[in-house]
Amino acid sequence: GVSIGVVFLALKPWFPGFVKLASSIFSRANMIASGKMFVANSLPSHMLAMFDWNPLFHCIDQARGFVFINYNPHYSSIGYPLKVAIVLIMIGLMLEFFTRKHASASWEATR
C-alpha cells in the first residue's frame, strides 16, 4: 500500500487527473481481488490465475495461515508481496527525486 502510494505521490504533479482516477480504480480493484471474501485453497486453478497477481491476495492468504491452525496456504507466498513492494518503493523514490527537481510549486496554485 505504501509503495503504490509513493508512486502515485510522485506522479501527481505531472498527471493530477490521471492519478486521482488511477488510485480510485486501483483501490476498488484491490477490494475485489484481495481474496478476503474467499479462500485461495478452495479456488480452481483458472480462477486462481485471476487473483494471483495481487500482492494483497498473498498477504491475506498468508495471514490466514498464521491465524487459523488448520489452514495452510498452498498458493501464496510471503516473498511475492515483499518483492513487489521493494520494486515499487524504488520506482516511487526515483520518480519522487525527479519530480522534486523538475516540478514547480506554481503548477497547483489557483487564483
What is the pLDDT, as a whole number, of residue 106? 72
pTM beyond 0.85: the answer is: no
Domain spans in the chain, listed from the N-terminal domain onward: 2-103
Q: How confident is the model at residue 110 (pLDDT cuts 50, 70, 90)?
A: low
Residue-wise burial string across 26-44, b where 16 or more C-beta atoms lie within 10 A, e elsewhere: eeeeeeebbbeeeebeebe
Enter the C-alpha cell of residue 96. 519522487
Query: Which carries the bigger pLDDT value, residue 47 or residue 107?
Result: 47
